Amino acid sequence: MVELKSDFVPVGEVSADERSRMAFGKAGVHRDDRYAVAVNAEGEILLTPLVSIPRRELLVWDDEGIRAALVRGLEHSSKDETSEGGDFTRYAEEEHSLEDENASAEPRS
């Protein structure tokens, strides 16, 4: 048996198929799971689970003020401490018109 480092627990053995693929279902991997892959000098492979987020949501993780505001908003919502804000459709329309103006003002090459 192979000596395991750290707190790894053996879950079985897999072999690569003709296209060098391996099935990791025994290890609890599910369809569409994402992993970062690292290899050390001894050939050991480490899979670290990942979660991908859309780029537009990255600002929440990059900006502590935005993240704190979002947490406060979720807390207020969970305590039913919210109020009707009205229709914000006009802001979406204004944003699109500003984007159109900016695009037409950019020099073309």
What are the boundaries of each domain within the chain?
Answer: 55-105
Q: Which amino acid is at 21?
A: R
Mean pLDDT over the full length of the chain = 83
pLDDT for the residue numbered 20 = 92
pTM for this model (two decimals): 0.48
